Amino acid sequence: MTKHIFVTGGVVSSLGKGLTSASIGCILERRGLRVRMQKLDPYINVDPGTMSPYQHGEVYVLDDGAETDLDLGHYERFTNSPLSRDSNFTSGRIYLRVIEKERQGKYLGGTVQVVPHITDEIKASVLKLAGPEVDVVITELGGTVGDIEGLPFLEAIRQIPLDIGRENCLFIHLTLVPYLKAAKELKTKPTQHSVQQLRQIGIQPDVLIVRTERPLGRDNAEKIALFCNLEKRAVIEERDKEFSIYEVPLGLIDHGLDLLILQKLGIQAGTCEMDDWEELIQRIRNPEHEVTIAVVGKYIEHRDAYKSIYESLDHAGFSHNSRVIVKRIEAEELEEADAATVLAGVDGLLVPGGFGMRGVEGKIQAARYARENNLPYFGICLGMQIAVIEFARNVLNHPDANSTEFDGNTPDPVICLLEDQKSVTLKGASMRLGAQPCDLVEDSLAARTYRQSSVSERHRHRYEFNPKYRQEMADAGLVVSGQSPDGKLAEIVEIPDHPWFLAVQFHPEFKSKPNLPHPLFHSFIEAALQRQGERTGASV
Ligand code: GLN
């Protein structure tokens, strides 16, 4: 029988519920359990694909092409749980499904209501992940207890124990215990209120995980337990981590969470195997080198907009015993300033994905600087398109070359829509999405880095490298080193006559893990370390 863990949050948003859920998945897997992860998001968008990164941070793409919440990135980085379209449901998607069924007459004349029809659809979406090959499903509920739009979800998870047995369900609630400087005290009242709100809905949490800047202390833990109707050992402290988010699972184990979950759900499991993870944390805490990478983007002040890129850079750093310092540069800044000044002291340049005109010219300036000055360049999605436009303008001498996304009348559309995208008018889920095969050209930097002849990577874009310019570019030194198996789509370009200049049409950042960095990121950081060595005269 599959067991279910529900993770809710209270007091404030941005508590790190996704990270905590992923860490719970991690520590249960490390005890040999087969885990599935899922996120329920109460907003009305059918998926986050249509949302601006300012609203919602990065859109995380899965192999099956699902555009999902960025917490699923944490799930993939911390666990091996296979994720799919069924790993992320929003209110919009649930309602859409119910309304479609209503239009098809599936409710046989009944009045369609939030309870039971919406709640039944939510329950079905949760229970769908259970099965003989799954020990535990962890379902994280987005938002904060008390949000109006979250109510149908809370009602649905309240009902699940009635359907499958209370002993098969565990409710974990995550709250904040703030420290008030003026009072010199940690305050437990918001946590008490949050649990009260949950209990009003009919959910008594079994475990409370308490985010805190300072040690919670026995008195506070006991007080919370008493007022929230919990066992003392079920109040778990989750202190802010000094070095890295990857320390969270170890902290939870130190506070006995893995054992507590197993006992409460009546699961027999093996001992917790965390040796490699502990070794990873040691490396993170004691880096031998530091390397600076510039990320030139358009949503730079929003930390979550390039979440997986920053994580992937960190992972590559871990494997080189290095701390990666990211210099976040607003692309528009480069439109006025001199690239050499802005990029001084930087050992590698990464241009990430993006949509729309703003900042494009600044990114082109940055790419030019990297190409002309032997600075390692890593272009991702839009970052590849930028590299191609820059090369066309400044090497091929097509001064007005552009992507038709930015200039519909360019005489040199080096990036353009291919035929099958031209008729697309709908915005949602209409891009080239998800895992696609890519064949690598023998002996290219790409092939040497992946050590494979064919790879699969995830896409999320509409525009493509225009095949008409391929030969002209290759003759001038920018070659296609990865392409779709039918040869039609350019997936990777590189400049062989440059220490490290590689750009990809896909998103490798969705496939990097802390203990298994993505090969392209690994190689990029290696090149940046080398560049730094040359720059400073130090041997790395
Ligand atoms: N805007 C570009 C396109 O749609 C790049 C997309 C991206 O970087 N994800 O092709």
For the CA of 354, the closest atom of ligand 1 is 8
pLDDT tens for 336-368 read 889 999 999 999 999 999 999 999 999 999 999
- Paired residues of 435 in beta bridges: 458
pLDDT tens for 462-484 read 999 999 999 999 999 999 999 99
- Residue 369 burial (CB < 10 Å; 0-12/13-18/19+)? buried
For the CA of 380, the closest atom of ligand 1 is 8
Residues of the chain below pLDDT 50: none
Whole-angstrom CA distances from 451 to 236, 455, 483, 522 are 44, 10, 16, 13
439 in ligand 1 pocket by Cβ < 6 Å?
no
State the pLDDT at residue 240.
Answer: 85
Find the helix packing angle between 275-285 and 307-319, rounded to 10°: 90
Rounded to the nearest whole angstrom, what is the distance from the C-alpha of residue 460 to the centroid of ligand 1? 7
State the pLDDT at residue 429.
Answer: 67
193 has catalytic annotation: no
State the pLDDT at residue 361.
Answer: 95
Contact 330, 302 (CB under 8 A): no
DSSP conformation letters of 105-161: TTTTTPPP-IIIIIHHHHHHHHHTT--TT-SEEEEEEPS-TT-GGGHHHHHHHHHHH
State the pLDDT at residue 91.
Answer: 97
416 has catalytic annotation: no
Q: Whose CA is nearest to atom 3 of ligand 1?
A: 461
- Residue 466 burial (CB < 10 Å; 0-12/13-18/19+)? buried
Closest residue by Cα to residue 307 from 27, 483, 69: 69
State the pLDDT at residue 538.
Answer: 65
State the pLDDT at residue 56.
Answer: 81
458 in ligand 1 pocket by Cβ < 6 Å?
no
Which residue is listed with tokens 């890295």?
244
381 in ligand 1 pocket by Cβ < 6 Å?
yes
* N residues, the chain: 540
State the pLDDT at residue 479.
Answer: 98
Q: Whose CA is nearest to atom 5 of ligand 1?
A: 382
Token digits of residue 474: 């290759």
